[in-house]
Amino acid sequence: MKHPLALLTALMLAPLVAFAQKAPAWVLPEINAPRVQRVLFESKAVGRQVSCHIFTPEVYERGKEQRFPVVYWLHGTGGGLPGVAPVSARFDAAIREGKIPPMLVVFPNGLATSMWCDAKDGSVPMETIVIKELIPHIDTTFRTIAKREGRIVEGFSMGGYGAARLGFKYPQLFGAVSVLAGGPLDLDFAGPRANGNPAERERILNSTFGDLDYYRAVHPIAVAQQQAENLRGNVRVRIAVGALDNTEPLNRAYSEHLKKLNIAHTFTVVPGVGHDTLALLKGLSETNWEFYRSLSGNGPTANVVTKPEVANAAKAARRAWESAPAEKKALWQQQREALTHIDLSEDTKRQVIIARGSPKPDEYHAHPTTAMLADHKTMFCVWNLGHGGHAGPMARSEDAGLTWKRLDDALPPNYVNFKNCPSLYRITDPQGKERLWVFAARTLTDKENPKLIEGRHEGFMPRIVSEDEGKTWRELPPIGGRISKDDPFRCIMTFSSIVRLKDGSHLGMFHRGSGIGEEGTLQVLQSVTRDGGFTWSEPTMACDGTQLDGKHPCEPYVFRSPDGNELCCLMRENKRSGTSLVMFSSDEGKTWSQAVDAPWGLTGDRHHGVTLPDGRMVIVFRNATPQSKDKAGFIAWVGTYDDIKQGKSGQYRVSLLKTFKDGFYPGIHLLPEGTIVATTYANYRKEDVGCSIVSVRFKMIEVDAMAAKATSRTKP
């Protein structure tokens, strides 16, 4: 008699057995398993209901505000219903024993032999169902961490093949990929399992893939090669297989394929284990739980940078260059060569340290913004701790940025619970009263370990205000309501910029995802305050990424033309398909032109600028320019408003500061005697884990002289 475990595994995975030709069973029955429920959702792809099963931990019912990471568990051939109970029981036990944080486990219905891809003839659009329908439905229906850091895709056998396909094809959706005894992992569909049942191989090949060409085109080998640049350092990957499993040689070969592509991963062969799901998971022992712990999305996030944004921007710029058509490359090269490139990044005498980072994880200073009072001497700087972390620090300078004093203890206690890129603005109301405001994206949720304050404010766009030039501060209720996907002020970041309108009101612009959290196509919205920042109008759409052919606008920087008659908005393009974006309004923001590509030299993130007395503009940003030859990542572009309007190159690109890892969201001010103070963050010393807040000081008369000297050297 066979061991019960072997019988269970055979039922779970039944690889490459004959299945009757019948209509797909899109709705599977409910099962009797602790904390597992069947979920039905409407699928437009197949025009009917589709089922999945989901495990929720016990704490899900108690913590009504807590959000949870999600494991998408993809079953093997034959259907996954028998495997739901034992796999969910393993997760349940591990959560109860404290081996892993609480998480949801979703068991999609992948039919018997869908291979977790869209069939060539469209009859079974499995990939479409999972990516475009199931994941959004789960994020809408359950309290998930609705971003890539909160999702793991994992599967065994056919499910391992599917995890590699979907995880590698959609790195923007998954932070981790687990391939367990995946197969088929050869390009000829001629591995030992397929060869052991040639009739079934032909049936799957014909019904799902249609032919070998399509099979090879959608294969995990091809997907990894196509997405290698996006996967390197960005997704945690593991491959595991039993030593007695006849798929071991092909799993090992796939590991070697990833090595050649420089895609970091672990490859584990478990002794004494064949093609058996539960035996493989058990054999992985403690390393199995370490994988989930490190990628649960529930750990502390304030002091961790999984992938520095500077490296992301540089990598994306290379990808944009490599994929650009010849005529686009020619234009970018022409604009690059038309600019004079100046390097100030090595001149440490220009640099002022506002807050020093260190090897200590709690000294990671990031994402500063600044404001200057009307005396042109008093400056303020706010930032968050950790990349996208919580607020807390503020500094004040009374000598135009040469020396700084921390003001953290003078701020309202709940300010430390503000999250992501606190932004500082000086706003004058229609009666002439000036106030300083700090807005942030949202307050920390309970799962993010906020400072416990009884009756604290919670919601989108929390804020503090000073009405006495920064001497005292008080907290007001957030602009938005409690954190909800339906709140009109839901955002990824708060106002990236605010501009005064002709009638004395102020227009603030921010961005959000069209989906939940950071998911979906990005959208830029705007809101108006007519009382100096206390109340804000219902946000309206200024730029919808769904109308931009795959481009993702975000981090809007809005400013007025020199003649005062037009507004211009520069935006980071987060799909990294080329240059930044720009749009214009001639009616004070009531309507905007269609966003178009900005000049090559302005390509980057989180733009901010000043206008010089001679009419030129200096705009600073994090560099993300394709085929850049700049010496640093913190860039100042110098040119005219007409250059931006007409798509011209501009005059200079000035390298201001380098980093060893992360950096370069800025603030910028122009002093009366001509000094420009540009403030950003960077890993200032190689040994620092944390970033420092740093100002760079320069004058345009110096830059002009350096440019003239550089130009004279190039003349024959």
Question: How many other C-beta atoms lie within 10 A of the C-beta of residue 123?
Answer: 11
Q: Is the pLDDT of residue 563 over 50?
A: yes
Inter-residue contact 181 to 79 (CB < 8 Å): no
3-state SS assignment for residue 218: coil
Query: What's the pLDDT tens digit per position in 460-502?
Result: 999 999 999 999 999 999 999 888 888 999 999 999 999 999 9
Say if pTM beats, i.e. exceeds, 0.75. no
Query: What's the pLDDT tens digit per position in 600-650?
Result: 999 999 999 999 999 999 999 999 999 998 878 999 999 999 999 999 999
Read off the pLDDT of each residue in 555-566 and give the average, rounded to a whole number.
97
What percentage of the chain exceeds 70 in pLDDT?
92
- Alpha carbon distance 184, 218 (integer Å): 12
Split at pLDDT 50, 70, 90, the class of 16 is: very low
Q: Please write down the HEC assignment for all residues of 30-53.
A: CCCCCCEEEEEEEECCCCEEEEEE
- Quote the mean pLDDT of the chain: 89
Give the pLDDT of residue 210. 87
Q: Is the pLDDT of residue 257 over 50?
A: yes
Split at pLDDT 50, 70, 90, the class of 450 is: confident
Q: Is the pLDDT of residue 103 over 80?
A: yes
Read off the pLDDT of each residue in 15-42 and give the average, rounded to a whole number.
79
Q: Is the pLDDT of residue 65 over 80?
A: no
Q: Is the pLDDT of residue 296 over 60?
A: no
- Greater confidence (97 vs 398) lies with 398
| Nearest alpha carbon to residue 700 among 672, 684, 664, 676 | 676
Give the pLDDT of residue 207. 82
Q: Which amino acid is at 516?
A: I
Split at pLDDT 50, 70, 90, the class of 413 is: very high
Split at pLDDT 50, 70, 90, the class of 695 is: very high
Look up residue 414 and give its two tokens: 């709940």
- Planar angle of CA 56, 57, 63, nearest 5 degrees: 100
Question: Torsion angle, CA of 245/249/254/257, rounded to 10 degrees?
Answer: 160
Backbone angles phi, psi at 4, to 5 degrees: -55, -35
Split at pLDDT 50, 70, 90, the class of 714 is: low
Split at pLDDT 50, 70, 90, the class of 56 is: very high
| Alpha helix (H) residue ranges in 365-473 | none
Inter-residue contact 570 to 582 (CB < 8 Å): yes
Residue 308 backbone zone (phi > 0: left; psi -120 to 50: alpha; other: beta): beta
The DSSP-derived string for 479-502 is SS-SS-TT-TT--SEEEEEEEE-T
Read off the pLDDT of each residue in 84-96 and give the average, rounded to a whole number.
93
Query: What's the pLDDT tens digit per position in 299-352?
Result: 323 333 334 577 778 878 888 898 899 999 999 999 999 999 999 999 999 999
What DSSP element (H or E) covers 146?
A: none
Q: Is the pLDDT of residue 367 over 50?
A: yes
| Nearest alpha carbon to residue 459 among 438, 480, 445, 439 | 480
- Alpha carbon distance 123, 560 (integer Å): 54
- Alpha carbon distance 525, 509 (integer Å): 6
Read off the pLDDT of each residue in 424-444 and give the average, rounded to a whole number.
96
- Gyration radius of the chain over CA positions: 27
Query: What's the pLDDT tens digit per position in 110-135?
Result: 999 999 999 999 999 999 999 999 99
Give the pLDDT of residue 1. 41
